[in-house]
Structure 1
Amino acid sequence: MTLDTWVGLIVLAILFLLEGRRPFDTGRRHRLRHGARNLSLALVSGLVGAAMTPLLVLSMTVADGHGWGLRHWLGLEGWPGIVTVLVLFDLWMYLWHRANHRVAWLWRLHRVHHTDTAMDTTTALRFHPGEILLSSLANGAVLAMLGMTLHAFVVYKAVMVAVILFHHSNVSVPTRLDRIFGVLLVPPSMHRVHHSEQRNETDSNYGTIFSVWDRVFRSFRSRADQHAIRFGIGQFGDDGWQRPLRLFLLPLVSDHSIQTEAQR
């Protein structure tokens, strides 16, 4: 297994235990069933991601071998080059995430992640396989254009997995610690707003690792009454839609059809 997989498994286990001992939302029920459903979908998406890994490795290897990419063109070697491409790749992740909310056909896939009405650390892995496929294809091109090295990308993925598992978690984090964490990285309080069923809040706080992008591009939103946030998108939230097969088929369902069904 790769470094990011090991980091993900360890952090996931720790956070899941903490969610049971120190939960932010104390009214959660059926945690095991909820987690099993999310992880079932994550397993399929993970297989798609694993199948796309050789493409990502190839794009970085070819670009590095030919001296392609921003890092080479600017003559950035060593740590300055690595840090630069890591920061720029996280900027790309912000832009890609924002596009998944703005472009209708991308949102059809991405909303599978947002229909979770009980966000916890397993939600961080709840993505449709189609979204993983498209993001892998896009990432391959961006990695080559940046001149990302394989080792740097492995480090980025390990940090990314740890951060997104944390900011999706249902762990009660002291306010002061959350604020300190949020100076540089995306904290749980910031990402809870992103998972609000209110669309103006869903369309905010797109950061993956670094919280600065939302402030720079004016997509940052905060909310003091964190316990009042209702997760989801206002539809597809009933138990039937939370089953892995229904989630897999969800991109094929239009908002209009579900509204028509509800009116019957």
Structure 2
Amino acid sequence: MQLLKDNWLVIWFFGIFFLELIFYHKNYVKRIEAKEHWKTNLLNFIATKLISIIFLISIVNLASKYSTHFLANLSPLISIVLSIFILDFAGYIFHRASHEIEFLWRFHEIHHLDEILDVSTSLRVHFLEAFFHTLVSCLVIYIFGIGQEAIAIHSLIAFVFATYHHSRFKLPINLEKILALFVTTPSFHEPHHDEDIKNNQSNYAFIFPIWDRIFFTYNKRTFQSSWKFGLSYSKDVNALNSLIKPLSKDGGK
């Protein structure tokens, strides 16, 4: 039982991963592009995890420690709820900026080059995108005085929804329509990974889709059979190049 408590996020991820293999991706297992896709996503996860352990976690803790402590001094429930909404909104702003600012797009592009959308796509975040996102989060944490407990809870919830809404594991359509009013779901997020810019510059939300509705970036269309995951102007890159490409002169193009 203790093993389950200590490793429930790992169990959650691999539970979805193997359900996808059984019900959705069983024809992909032997395909070369699927194996390359998983290898690329895993390498990006490892690189981002390393920079998080070495540097990013420490600066987040410092930002909280020396912050205004405004939200941290409120009652625990109010503090945590407000902090989650504020950090999620900051994530929406950063995500949208990553599509609209060329410098940030060169890193976020790596996530969108994935041509096989599944739960592992949620791990495909370039380490420098994670770095810049963390800097924005640190600023928000400092200004609003967000406590470390709230930061940890937000991180856990964000991971759960990032893995879920990138997955192929869908609920009955009527249930998912109701759920998508409140939180992000696979059907909500799918248009964002279409290769057509008209679709992929929409539905930016990480946890709460209300931000897209408020700021007119909500795309109510569901994924069509004629759509393709990835980017129309470029094929996917291999694992090593996914780390290097944003650092080259033609990164983001």
TM-score above 0.5: yes
**Residues 4, 157 of structure 1: 8 Å contact kept:** no
**Equivalent position of 2:149 in the other structure:** 151
**Displacement of 1:76:** 3.5
Write the letter of the residue equivalent to 1:54: S
**Which stretch of structure 1 is more off in the superposition, 100-109 or 79-88?**
79-88
- Unaligned stretches of 5+ residues in structure 2: none
5 Å-filtered alignment, 1:10-49, equals 10-23=11-24, 28-29=28-29, 30=31, 31-49=34-52
- Unaligned stretches of 5+ residues in structure 1: 259-264
**Equivalent position of 1:104 in the other structure:** 102
Q: What are the superposed Cα offsets for residues 92-119 of structure 1, whole Å, 9 maximum, x if unpaired?
A: 1101100000100000110000000111
**Displacement of 1:26:** 7.0
2:242 pairs, out of 221, 239, 247, with 247
Write the letter of the residue equivalent to 1:20: L
5 Å-filtered alignment, 1:62-141, equals 62-63=66-67, 68-71=68-71, 76-141=74-139
Choose between structure 1 and 2: higher helix proportion.
1
In 1, distance between residues paired with 2:187 and 2:199?
A: 12
**Displacement of 1:7:** 4.3
In 1, distance between residues paired with 2:192 and 2:213?
A: 14
How many residues get paired?
245
**Displacement of 1:171:** 2.1
Percentage of identical aligned residues: 26
Q: What are the superposed Cα offsets for residues 205-243 of structure 1, whole Å, 9 maximum, x if unpaired?
A: 0000011110011100022454333111113325xx1x2
**Residues 47, 127 of structure 2: 8 Å contact kept:** yes
Write the letter of the residue equivalent to 1:155: I
Task: Please provide the CA RMSD for this pair.
Answer: 2.3
Q: What are the superposed Cα offsets for residues 42-81 of structure 1, whole Å, 9 maximum, x if unpaired?
A: 1011111222101101111122xxxx15526xx7333122
Q: 1:199 to 1:151 in 2, by over 3 A?
A: same
1:208 pairs, out of 199, 206, 209, with 206
**Residues 7, 162 of structure 1: 8 Å contact kept:** no
**Displacement of 1:27:** 5.6
**Which stretch of structure 1 is more off in the superposition, 110-119 or 9-18?**
9-18
In 2, distance between residues paired with 1:223 and 1:147?
A: 38
Write the letter of the residue equivalent to 2:58: P
2:64 pairs, out of 56, 60, 65, with 60
**Residues 115, 235 of structure 1: 8 Å contact kept:** no
Q: 1:43 to 1:225 in 2, by over 3 A?
A: closer
Kindly report structure 1 stretches of 4+ aligned residues shifted beyond 6 Å.
Answer: none
Q: What SS does structure 1 have at the residue aligned with 2:143?
A: helix
Q: 1:41 to 1:122 in 2, by over 3 A?
A: same
Q: 1:225 to 1:109 in 2, by over 3 A?
A: closer
In 1, distance between residues paired with 2:27 and 2:178?
A: 27
**Displacement of 1:82:** 2.1
**Equivalent position of 1:261 in the other structure:** none
**Displacement of 1:89:** 1.3
Q: What are the superposed Cα offsets for residues 116-174 of structure 1, whole Å, 9 maximum, x if unpaired?
A: 01111000010111111111122111111121111111111111101010000122432
TM-score relative to the length of structure 2: 0.88
**Equivalent position of 1:262 in the other structure:** none
**Displacement of 1:180:** 2.4
TM-score relative to the length of structure 1: 0.85
